[in-house]
Structure formats: structure tokens, C-alpha cells
Amino acid sequence: MSDFAAPIAEQIWDMKYRLKAQDGAVIDATIEATWDRIAKALAAPEANPAEWEPRFRAALQDFRFLPAGRIVAGAGTGRSVTLFNCFVMGTIEDSMSGIFAALREAALTLQQGGGIGYDFSTIRPRGAGVSGVAADASGPLSFMDVWDAMCRTIMSAGSRRGAMMATLRCDHPDIEEFIAAKRDPARLRMFNLSVLITDPFMEAVAANADWHLVFGGQTRRTIRARDLWDAIMRATYDYAEPGVIFIDRINATNNLAYAETIAATNPCGEQPLPPYGACLLGSVNLAQLVADPFTDDATLDTDALADLTATAIRMMDNVVDASRFPLEAQAEEARAKRRIGLGVTGLADALAMTGLRYGAPEAAAQTGEWLEVMANAAYGTSARLAAEKGAFPLFDREAILAAPMVQRLSDVTRAAIAEHGLRNALLTSIAPTGTISLLAGNVSSGIEPIFAQEYTRKVLQPDGSRTEEVVRDFAVSEWRRLHGDAPLPDAFVSVADLAPEDHVRMQAAAQEWIDSSISKTINVPEDIDFDAFKDVYLSAWAQGCKGCTTYRPNAITGSVLSTEDRPRPAETEAKVVQLFAPLDRPATLTGETYKIKWPQSEHALYITINDLEVDGQRRPFEIFVNSKNMEHFAWTVALTRMISAVFRRGGDVSFVVEELKAVFDPRGGAWVQGKYVPSILAAIGGVIERHMVATGFLAGEGLGLKTDPVDPRDQTDVAAVTLPGPTCPSCGSFDVHMAEGCATCANCGFSKCG
């Protein structure tokens, strides 16, 4: 396993984690060099690095311990990036200066590669008075639009756009608007949304009681709690958001309840964090620890699991000292509590290899036993580190020993904590592992089930041709290696075989031994009854989960769970010509001219878009951008020439809309017809989009997503108007599925969450 188990694993490494110079020259010659780089960097904070570097290196060998992607990509590179995956930002002050100070901090954090979470509950509701300016507040949703526009333009660590989580309390007066925000598929696309659900609210739902919406200690409205619950359920049933976070349970079970109050999570929800809190993640690959797989003697080596956990905890603790931080407040928070989140990947594979069916009661029980071993090993190691290096600065012995998680640990572990303290306030979390699980040979991701036992992937070769390769789940590959084409055992199940209760059972079993939280998607069938859908959330609440995220295929987000062959673009009805050479310009064209009056500009812009008709379909052929303002002359001419050149090449040119609408002006955008537009270029993008919709080139606003068109050497006629589901924004593939709260591409490994 030192070598890559599958071509996709090597491609993921080369694309995301292999260290290269700015000019593209290779620095990490092999995956072994990558492991060497990481081990050396994480051993550097030790008093004797030479003692620990080989131990760290051994843990990385064979993909047994998988640090989170930020660490694999950034450790030992000398680059100014953070090794922490994500952050919860500071409390947003309910003032214009406070809000935009928070926006600036968010931009700086995203720029260095960290995802962010924010609680917008502190912003006064829409319509509330604003003293001193004789105006009404626009509410938290309007400012979330500003955050969304900013995030679109920030490339995290130079390679991907940032991810954000927004939370709002269930008693905020604007909660109903928040719940409905994602009904518009073009709005808040850079955010995951979750409602902070309190214990009193769940009690009011059960009693069908009134529920007060309050801000600043004043009740603004009163509604029925069950009506609000049904609105949340209906929204996530229809378009997969918002998620639900049981915030009172999170605070009640927090080891640090004596020192902090949590009101938000990181983008995927596995790390509830206080203001300026940061999540440091890593995963033990359970699939690599199974001895004698697929036999009656198959077992997971729990001694090896404990040893590997101990080494991983030490490595992750050192990351706190080795990492940079976008903000000093984040560094101070991390060093005061030294919070880390060690989790697992390959759980479903390990279960199948030991003959257990994912989701069955026996599998849930076994999952709990494995994670109990990890929890005691993690806390025991942290106690030994405290004896060696000192406890975390805010350690309170009496409060920590009384914490619910610590109460569940073994007597030996609790005695070590009582004697030495803890180096780390919290230690365990189960995070999304989309791309690192592919790196490890396509092991099942996190604690999710096997998505697909195998699938065919098309790979673009340097000469422009395409080849096909079979990508198999790790455990399936092991079975084939040992047993050839023999039928797979009954223990192999995939996401399509599971009932919602199977997912909840697994999440609840894991949560008992995880002190933070878990990123998991409960996949439900499209035809699930609405009342049965609501029962999934009530079951998660009853079984002790800290949150619940479901995914039901729907008209707004698409059907991203199917593993069946989908119709490729060529098989749908509408046609768009895809050519190498630009189209010839006819003598006359039909078009429209639009006026943009930008508030910050003295003169209006005039946008003329001319169309060409191909196979009965109007498509944009050229654009002219004009203004009397001579300061605009150079860039308007450049825009005219570049966009026209793109239009004339044919194909799916709707990505132009996406690129323009994502441009954020650091001087500030403007409110146009009640909607925040981040720049004048974004306004032009909006005009082009509306024109495309009016001519039938796009089915609706918000559908001009960036996708790479099908290679023109493969076919000349492709559909680009009505797509049969969402495509990967990186490679354009339709092989996208939802896991751990993240849209993940099985074709290229792209993950919305990293």
C-alpha cells in the first residue's frame, strides 16, 4: 500500500497534495516524499524531533493515519497557509462597523484556506429600528448576501473557493426567512445553513405550544412551535437545507462548558466551536487495521488502533504549534484550549471486511466499541502529554472530570486525567474525508456507508483522448484480490440499500464516544413520506445526536445520489454547437440593448447582446459594452472582445455569467432593485444571465453554473440548456453524490468542503 491502490489516488495526490513550486516544478517526487515532509514538520515542535519523526512517518505509511487535507497540502511547505481546516469567527457586533469588521476577518481567514462558520443571530431582525439614522434594519439575511458575494471571490489557499456555515437561532424573528432562503437556488450558494434548535423549542414542539420570537429581550412575534418545526422540515425535505443543530445539547455536553458558550459550527458541522475557535482534523483509517478480512477470524486490531491513535494525537497536538493562523485571536483561542478532532475513515469498509452489515444493530455496537478504544487512547495520550508538556492553559480539573464525555471513560483513563490533567480540551470529531479517502485507495468516507461498490470513470489523456478506468471501493478491491469474481458477501451494502434509521443508528452509536460532533448525511429516498421524513429528525434527537443533516433528491439541488448511468448531455433534447473554430458572423443579427445605472458611476453602461440562431435555438454570439465614462474605456473594450470571443466558439458559454457574477469589488458593491450586487462586473453578468433566460438559452436565473464543456473532439453536438442533475464544478462530471454534508465528485475527487 505504499504505492497507490488506484490511478485516481495518484491523481488526487498530484492535483491537491503534492508539493510543487510556483512554476509547477515538482518538489515531492513521490508520496513517500510527501509523508517525509509532513513527519518532519510535525516533529519539529518536539524537544527531540529525531526521536519522533520516524514514529510519525510510520503512522503515515500505508495511509493508516490521514491528517486532514490542509495538513497534507501545507505542512512543511514554508507557505503562509493555515493547517487548520476551519474556524468559527468572532461574535458579530450588531452595528455597521461591527458587521463589516467581521466581514474583513472572514475574508482574511478564507484567503489563507480556512472555512468559516458564523452565527448571525446577533444581528437585529429586518424592520427593527436603527437609532440615529431614521431607518429600519435590513436583517441578517441581507448581510449574509454580502458574505456570500465576498466568499465567491476568495480562492482558499490559491486552489478553491471557501466554504461557510451560517446559523440562526430558532427564536430569532427572521428565522422563517432564513429557513426559506435556499428556495432560491441562486442565493447563498457559498453557505451551508443550519438552525440552532434549543431544548425548550423541542419541548414546545412536543406540546404543540406557542413559541416566542425574540431579539434584545423583547418578543417580536409569537407563532406555534410545531408550525415552525414543520417549516424547517418542509424546507429541508424540498431542498436539503437548513440542517438542524441541537445547540443546548452541544453546550451541555461540552468539556469546556465552564469556559465557553457555543453558537456555531464549522462548515460541515462536526466541530461546534466558540468565537474564534478552530478545528484541527485527522482520521484513522480503520480499513487498514483489519486482519484476515472476509474470514471467520476477521478482526480489527484494537491494540494497533490504540497505538495509532496515540501517535496521531501527538502529531495533531504539534500542529497547534506548527500552524499559522489568519488572525491572532484564532491563535490565542487555539493555544488556550489546544482543541483537536481525531476521527475515522474507512468504517464501512472495516465493517464489511469483518462481516458486519453497515446500519445493523451489530454493526452499530461494534462501531461504538472501536470508538471507545479510540476515545480512551486519545484521552490517555493527552494526559501523558500534559504530564510531559503541560495541560492546556484553561484546564480545570474538577470541571473536566465532571464532563459527560470524561465520565464515560475507563477508570484508568480518568485516573490519568486526575493526576496529570489534559493537554487538549477536546480530542475527537468525525469530519468529512472525501478526498483523503480517495487518496487512501477509495476507502469509504468517514462513517458514511459505501457509496458505490465500483463505477467507471472517464479520464482525459494529454493527447485529448479519453480512457475509462474502473474505480472500486477499497473493501471491494480487497475481496476481488482474494476471491476474484466471486459474489460479494451480504455484508456489502451501499447507500441505496439503507433505511434512514440505519444511518441514525450509526451516527448515534458513534456520537457516544465523540466529544465534538459528526459530519454525516442521512440519505433518504425521494418518495419518502413527509411524516416519515420528520421522524428521522425526531429519532436523531431521541438517540442523542448533536445535529441532523439529510439529503433527499429534489428539484432544486438535483438528484445527486444515483449510481446508475445518467443520460449524458448528448442524450437530452436541446442542442448547442461545440466547435474548435469560431462561428462565422452573418451580415445581420438580432439582439437587445440593456442599460445599467451603477450608483457609483456618473454615466450609465449600455450592454448590447446579439444572438445567432442554431438548430432553432437562439444563443449569444457577441456583446458590446459601452459607456461615456472614458475611465471605463479600456476594460469595457477588453470585456467586449473577450466575451465575444468566448461566445463565438460555441458550447456551453453560461460559465461567463458565473465568473462575472462572482467578481467582488473591495470598494463595495451596491444595492440594485433591492438586491446586493458585489460589483459592476457582477451587474453585467446579471444582464447576460437575464438575456440568456429570455432567449431560452438558460432555463432560469441561477442556472448558469460553471462547468467544463465536453471535449469537442469527442462530439460536436452537446446539450447545455437542460441538464439532468448537478455537475461537478471542477470537471463537469455528473458523478456527484452527497456525503458528510458535502457534494463530492466521484470522477475527479472534487469536494465542496475540501
Active site residue 268: yes
Averaged over 571-600, what is the pLDDT? 66
Among 147-156, 391-400, 445-454, the least confident range: 147-156
Tens-digit pLDDT profile for residues 412-434: 999 999 999 999 999 999 998 98
pLDDT band at 133 (very low <50, low <70, confident <90, very high): low
Domain stops at, among 233, 265, 297: 265
Mean pLDDT value across residues 87-113: 91
User: Is the residue at 97 inside a domain?
Assistant: yes
**d(C-alpha 83, C-alpha 325), whole Å:** 8
Pick the catalytic residue from 270, 333, 448, 689: 270
Instruction: Say yes or no to pLDDT of 580 above 60.
Output: no
β-partners of residue 430 are 518
pLDDT above 90: residue 604? no
User: What CA–CA distance (Å, rounded) separates 79 from 70?
Assistant: 12
* Strands ordered across the beta sheet of 547-548: 278-279, 86-88, 115-119, 164-169, 191-197, 243-246, 547-548
| Cα end-to-end distance, the chain, whole Å | 24
Q: Round to whole Å and give the CA distance between 68 and 433.
A: 8
C-alpha dihedral sign at 403, 405, 411, 416: negative
Q: Give the pLDDT band of residue 157 (cuts 50, 70, 90).
A: very low
pLDDT of residue 437: 93
> Does the pLDDT value for residue 56 go beyond 90?
yes
* CA dist 589 → 79, 579, 613, 658 (Å): 52, 20, 9, 25
Q: What is the pLDDT of residue 744?
A: 73
Q: What is the grid cell recorded at 174?
A: 427572521
Query: Residue 407's beta-bridge partner residues?
Result: none
State phi, psi for 86 to the nearest 5 degrees: -160, 165
**Cis? peptide before 500, omega within 30° of 0:** no
Please, are residues 39 and 56 in contact by the beta-carbon 8 Å criterion?
yes
DSSP characters over 515-564: SS-B---EE--TT--HHHHHHHHHHHHHTT-SEE-EE--BTTTB-----S
Q: For the whole prediction, is pTM greater than 0.85?
A: no
Each as own residue / partner, the long-range contacts of residues 178-182 (CB below 8 Å, 24 or more positions apart, any chain) are: 178/120, 178/140, 178/141, 178/242, 179/231, 179/232, 179/235, 179/242, 180/231, 180/235, 181/141, 181/144, 182/235, 182/239, 182/240, 182/241, 182/242, 182/556
- Let me know if residue 250 belongs to a domain: yes
Lowest mean pLDDT among 188-197, 325-334, 699-708, 745-754: 699-708
Question: What mean pLDDT do residues 126-133 have?
Answer: 81
Domain hosting residue 631, numbered range: 571-718
- Band of pLDDT at residue 290, cut at 50, 70 and 90: very high
Angstrom distance (rounded) from CA 720 to CA 697: 8
Length of the chain counted residue by residue = 754
Instruction: Select the highest-mean-pLDDT range: 59-73, 629-643, 710-724.
Output: 59-73
User: What is the pLDDT at residue 733?
Assistant: 58
Which carries the bigger pLDDT value, residue 9 or residue 467?
9
- Which of 239-248, 369-378, 481-490, 698-707 has the weakest average pLDDT? 698-707
Q: How high is the pLDDT of residue 295?
A: 97
What percent of the chain has a predicted confidence (pLDDT) above 70?
Answer: 85
* Annotated active-site residue in 170, 268, 545, 742: 268
- Domains in the chain: how many in total? 2
The answer to whether 105 and 90 have CB atoms below 8 angstroms apart is yes
**DSSP of 34-75, one letter per residue?**
HHHHHHHHHHTTSSSHHHHHHHHHHHHGGGSEEE-HHHHHHT
CA distance 588 to 611: 10
The candidate with the shortest Cα–Cα distance to 723, out of 609, 576, 523, 621, is: 576
Quick check: 126 pLDDT over 50?
yes
Query: Nearest to residue 510, comparing CAs of 500, 501, 523, 520?
Result: 520
Domain-ending residue, one of 230, 245, 265: 265
Residue 628: pLDDT over 90: no
Q: Which of 532, 522, 473 is nearest to 500 (CA)?
A: 522
What element of type H or E holds 264? strand 264-265
- The reported pLDDT for the residue numbered 717 is 36
Predicted pLDDT at 153: 72
Greatest distance between any 2 Cα atoms in the chain: 87
Q: Tell me if 302 sits within 8 A of 373, measured CB to CB.
A: yes
Q: How much is the pLDDT for 469?
A: 79
Q: Has residue 151 been placed in a domain?
A: yes
Cβ proximity of 657 and 704 under 8 Å:
yes
**What grid cell was written down for 332?**
490565542
Q: Of 54-63, 196-205, 574-583, where does mean pLDDT reach its minimum? A: 574-583
For residue 575, the model assigns a pLDDT of 42
Q: Tell me, yes or no, whether 410 lies in a domain.
A: no
Q: Which residue has the higher pLDDT, 719 or 327?
A: 327
Domain boundary among 219, 234, 265: 265
Helix (H) or strand (E) holding 413: helix 411-420
Spell out the alpha helix ranges (H) of 556-616.
none
Whether 750 has a pLDDT exceeding 70, the answer reads: no
Q: Is pLDDT above 50 for 258? A: yes
What is the per-residue pLDDT for 559?
52
Q: Which of 266, 285, 318, 424 is catalytic?
A: 266
| Angle subtended by helix axes 680-695 and 633-648, to nearest 10 | 30
Which of 251-265, 282-296, 436-450, 653-667 has the lowest average pLDDT?
A: 653-667
pLDDT over 80 (residue 3): no
Given this model, what pLDDT does residue 80 score? 81
pLDDT at 753 over 70: no
Report pLDDT for 633. Answer: 80
**Predicted local distance difference test score (pLDDT) of residue 337:** 98
Whether residue 706 has pLDDT greater than 50: no
The H or E element containing residue 167 is strand 164-169
Is the pLDDT higher at 17 or at 574? Answer: 17
Strand boundaries in 380-507, DSSP class E: 454-460, 466-472
User: Is 623 part of any domain?
Assistant: yes
Domain annotation covers residue 693 = yes
State the Cα–Cα distance between residues 352 and 301, nearest whole angstrom: 15
- From the list 271, 268, 515, 544, the residue with the least C-alpha distance to 372 is 515
177, 141 Cβ separation under 8 angstroms: yes
Q: Is residue 173 part of a domain?
A: yes
Q: Are 452 and 473 in contact (CB under 8 A)?
A: yes
For residue 23, the tally of other CB atoms under 10 A from its CB is: 5
Is 266 among the catalytic positions? yes
Confidence class for position 569, pLDDT limits 50, 70, 90: very low
In a domain, 186, yes or no: yes
